Copies of this chain bind each other. A is one copy, B any other.
């Protein structure tokens, strides 16, 4: 058995080396690559991913998994090897079920629709993408047909990003959340609009980055095993357990985009940096689901990074970085500005409260598309209607409506959105549990001491990588299954105070 496990790990390590190389090529493309590098770069990444796929789906991997199977019965279900084999088998089964011809056809279609979308979106030309989006929908349904035993097509896609969840479980949670959020938003919009003009002006990029990096270093992000660079769209990427990088997008005309993006990506990176290094090179060495990953980015960005306790400690430092702009601005004013709630058109620019309504809208629409209950040609109108009913705003066009997110124009329809809101729900429940375990948590945050909460998160969540499912992680860390209760309590308490509800 020892020998088989070693051989499996060697094969996985090779696959991981290829994927890590592709990830570095992608990072370089977004950070430092000169424009002339673009044509070859796409081909090089495709070659690496293709070889990684070939190596991973090698029948020899299947034989090793088969040979290991009967030997696992003797082991505890929580044993690392059991988890490794279970996870590898799941991924192997999935990857070997998709015909290579389908993969290349889908890839070339997705390259085409992405290319068309980049021009059609600024031109607000939904007609240009509609037939292509119809084909994406067909391909998405065909893709899900390769797998068995799902109640709805979208379940196959949810499983890839949020294993253990289904359209039904997500749908139930989301319906509950929506019922609680819509009235909260209505209450807030009746109150006077918060003046957040203190966040706009001229804030030199270097000082913003210096501040953001000083904070995330105190969060526990290890710059000896990472770094931060500038990219158009911020992201976190990993090349090994010792090299987990983040990017940000600093805008000198406002103070918040860059800094909160730094906190957000650092949250993702803290999760990855905290994974047990013994998992390196295997499928265990990554966050267990989109939802749990997002719970950590949002936890550090919002539940900690937008809290009054946090800014009690950091606001004087921020004022020192931008004395001219912020000296006249009291902490209270700044705190209210960074927590301003206002229904708007764009998901990525939305505040903490309305954000989830954007996500749930997308989830419900893609579920309806995949189930055949909505046609692509009716998508813009369905989008507008839902924006009106949930957020009280009507997109003036499709550019900032159905065409705003890249997700449907670069991949299959389904599976990519629900994790954002699952993560928010989880973040509330996790912080509630952390506060029970660390009664002094608020006081610690008020003095910039994040070591206790970071340690707790690492021990409860990060170290396990993908060993436990999202549901298991939540149950272990919080003692209860996932529910919207703690998250809604967090939102209601915080925003009742801010808006005098």
Contact = CB atoms under 8 A, between A and B. Distances in A.
Interface of A: 13-14, 17-18, 20-22, 24-25, 28, 32-41, 43-44, 47-48, 51, 222-227, 229, 239-243, 245, 280
B32 A227 contact: yes
Given A17-B44, A17-B48, A41-B240, 13 more contacts: A13-B47, A17-B47, A18-B51, A21-B22, A34-B223, A36-B222, A36-B225, A36-B226, A37-B239, A37-B243, A40-B239, A40-B241, A40-B280
* Copies of this chain in its oligomeric complex: 2
B224 A39 contact: no
Contacts of A20: 40, 44
A240 B224 CA distance: 30
A240 B48 contact: no
A245 to B, nearest CB: 8
Nearest to A38: B242
Contacts of A33: 243
12 contacts: A17-B47, A21-B21, A21-B22, A21-B44, A34-B245, A36-B222, A36-B225, A36-B243, A37-B239, A37-B243, A39-B240, A41-B240
Main secondary structure of the interface of A (DSSP, over half): helix
Contact of A34 (B13, B34, B226): B226
Contact of A48 (B21, B28, B225, B280): B21
A242 B29 CA distance: 13
Given A43-B17, A48-B17, A37 B223 contact: no
Contact of A35 (B13, B22, B43, B224): B224
A225 B51 CA distance: 27
Given A25-B24, A224-B35, A243 B40 contact: yes
Interface centre among A14, A20, A44, by most B CB within 10 Å? A44
A240 B45 CA distance: 13
Contact of A227 (B22, B34, B44): B34
